[in-house]
Amino acid sequence: MKKTLLALSCAMALVMGYQSSVFADPVEVTLSGTGSCAKCKLKQTDACQNALKSGDTLYLLEHNAVSKAFHKNLCSGTANITAVGSVKDVKGKKVLVATKISLAGDVAKSEVAEKKASGDQTFKGTGVCTKCISKLTSACQNGIIIDGKLHFLEHNDVSKAYHEKVCQKSTPTVVYGKLTEVGGVKKITASKIEEASGKQSKVDTGKKKVPASLTIKGTGSCLKCALKKSDTCQNALTTSINGKEKLYVFAKNECSNGFHKNLCSAQAEIVAIGTLAEEGDQSIFTPTSLKLQEKKTLTGEALCLKCELKQARTCQNAIRVSVDGKDLIYALDQNKVSRSFHSKVCQSTVAVVAQGTIANMNGKLEFTASEISVK
C-alpha cells in the first residue's frame, strides 16, 4: 500500500511539473544580429522565412504576421536587425515568435514615432526639485526649466522613479508627455523621463548652489528701512515655506535698483523672476523682472485643493470664481489668514468674499489673502 501511494505521489509531481512548464508564460527576449532569408540565403527551408543569427545561435522566425510584413527587408539580402519575442524549441531548432522586428538604428526612430502617435510632446530642459532647488513647494516634486520657465511635473510613478536624479541637484533632462491645464494650473504628465546628453550640473550643498531660473512671490521690503538688517537700502522678499518664513535678499542690479522706490517707504506684495544662489545661510536672488501683485477682491466658492479638486497632495484652500462662464481656480497661499479659515472648507464648500493680491505663478493663479469672510 505504501509503495502504491509513493508511486502515485511521484506520478502527480511529474504531471504537475509538466503542466507548470507547459502553461508557464513565455519569457520575452530581445535579440540582435544578422537577419536573412532561411530559404534564399541559408538554404535551410523550402519556403521563404526570416532567420536571425545572434552570436553563434540561429533562430528561425515563426512565419506570423509580424515576420511576414518584415520579410521584404531580408529576402534579397542580409541586414542587421533587432527582434523582440519569445523563443521555443521545434524539432531541435530555435524558433522566435516575434512581436516586433526593426532594422538596426530604427529602434530609436520607432520610439519617437510611437511618442508622436500617442500625442506625447518632448520637453528638453533642466530637471530640478521644486522644493530643494526652486524652493516653491513644501514637498519634493519634479520640475523642468525650459527657456527660463519652470514647468511642474505631475507626481506620478514615472516622475517619482526619476526624482533621485534631480533632488539636491539640477540635471539636463528630457521629458515625454502631455501638457495639460486644469483650473488654471499647467503641468506635464510624463510617460517617460530620461537624462539628456551632456554634463550634469551638480549642486555644491556646502557653499553655493547652481542658480536656477524661477518665479517667487511674497512681501517685498527694504532690508534697511523695514527689516533693519542692513546699513544701506536693498530690496528683499519674505515668503513662507513649510510654515516658516524665508528671506531672499535681492542682488543690486539694474532691475532691483529701479524697483526700489516701490519698497523703500512701505512693504508690498510682489512677484519676482530671476535666479537663486545660496551663499552660506543667505539666499541671494538676482531678479530679471519685478512686479507688484494686483490687489483684488474675489467673490466665489471656497474649497479644498486636495479634498474637493484632487489637485494637491496636501490640504490647501482655493477659491473658484466664474468669469464669463469659465471657472477660474485661485490657490491660496498658506498664510495665517488662509490656515485659520481652512476648517470651513475642508470636506465642504462655502461661498466667500476674500480680499488680497493675485499673482500668476508659472500659469497657476495664486491668491494671498488678507481677509476671508463667509458670504
102-119: per-residue pLDDT in tens? 887 655 455 555 555 557
pLDDT, average across residues 119-145: 83
Within this chain, do residues 298 and 361 fall inside the same structural domain, yes or no? yes
Distance CA(274)–CA(152), nearest Å, equals: 17
Give 210's pLDDT tier (boundaries 50, 70, 90).
Answer: very low
Assess whether 286 and 310 both reside in one domain: no
Same domain, 288 and 298: no
Task: Print the domain residue range for 98.
Answer: 28-103
Instruction: Check residue 320 and give its pLDDT.
Output: 94
Banded pLDDT at 246 (limits 50, 70, 90): confident
User: Does 9 score more than 70 pLDDT?
Assistant: no
Q: Please give the pLDDT value at position 291.
A: 92
**Residue 318 covered by a domain:** yes
What is the per-residue pLDDT across 283-304, written as a single tens digit (0 to 9) for each?
A: 888 999 999 999 999 999 999 9
pLDDT at 204: 40
- Main-chain dihedrals φ then ψ at residue 235, nearest 5 degrees: -70, 150
Question: In this predicted structure, what is the pLDDT of residue 223?
Answer: 92
Read off the pLDDT of residues 147-199 as tens digits, 9 standing for 90 and up. 777 788 888 888 888 888 888 788 899 999 988 765 555 688 888 888 887 54
Confidence class of residue 237 from pLDDT cuts 50, 70 and 90? very high
Does one domain contain both 268 and 225?
Answer: yes
% the chain with pLDDT above 90: 29
Q: What is the 3-state secondary structure (H, E, C) of the chain?
A: CHHHHHHHHHHHHHHHHHHHHHHCCCCEEEEEEEEEECCCCCCCCCCCCEEEEECCEEEEECCCHHHHHHHHHCCCCCEEEEEEEEEEEECCEEEEEEEEEEECCCHHHHHHHHHHHHCCEEEEEEEEECCCCCCCCCCCCEEEEECCEEEEECCCHHHHHHHHHCCCCCEEEEEEEEEEEECCEEEEEEEEEEECCCCCCCCCCCCCCCCEEEEEEEEEEECCCCCCCCCCCCEEEEEEECCEEEEEEECCCHHHHHHHHHCCCCCEEEEEEEEEEEECCEEEEEEEEEEECEEEEEEEEEEECCCCCCCCCCCCEEEEEEECCEEEEEEECCCHHHHHHHHHCCCCCEEEEEEEEEEEECCEEEEEEEEEEEC
Domains in the chain, number: 4
- Which of 50, 82, 84 is closest to 68 using CA atoms? 50
Q: Is residue 97 part of a domain?
A: yes
Structural domain ending residue among the three candidates 254, 276, 292: 292
pLDDT of residue 299: 95
Lowest average pLDDT, out of 72-76, 196-200, 252-256, goes to 196-200
Residue 8 lies in a domain: no
pLDDT value for 374 = 93
301 and 326 together in one domain: yes
Residue 203 lies in a domain: no
- The pLDDT of residue 139 is 80
Residue 262 shares a structural domain with residue 304: no
Which backbone phi and psi does 161 adopt, to 5 degrees? -65, -25
- Does any domain span residue 163? yes
Which CATH number does the domain housing residue 39 bear?
2.40.50
287, 298: one domain: no
pLDDT in tens, 276-286: 887 767 788 89
Q: Rounded to whole angstroms, how far apart are CA atoms 94 and 31?
A: 12
Mean pLDDT highest for which of 25-39, 137-151, 226-240?
A: 226-240
At 225, list the grid cell: 528701512
Residue 108 lies in a domain: no
Residues 88 and 126 in one domain: no
| pLDDT, averaged across the chain | 81
pLDDT of residue 154: 87
Residue that finishes a domain, picked among 75, 103, 131: 103
Domain end marker among 292, 315, 334: 292
Q: Are residues 268 and 278 in the same domain?
A: yes
Name the more confident of 41 and 313.
41
Residue 335 falls within a domain, yes or no? yes
User: Which residues make beta-bridge pairs with 354?
Assistant: 298, 372
In angstroms, the CA 63 to CA 45 distance is: 12
The enclosing domain of 343 has a CATH number of 2.40.50.140
So what's the pLDDT on residue 160? 86
Section 61-90 average pLDDT: 87
Both 58 and 75 in one domain: the answer is yes
The answer for residues whose C-beta is within 8 angstroms of residue 339's C-beta and 6 or more apart is: none
Tell me, yes or no, whether 22 lies in a domain.
no
Do 231 and 264 belong together in one domain?
yes
Instruction: Please tell me whether residues 298 and 368 are part of one structural domain.
Output: yes
Q: Is the pTM of this model over 0.85?
A: no
Q: How far apart are CA 271 and CA 361, in angstroms?
A: 8
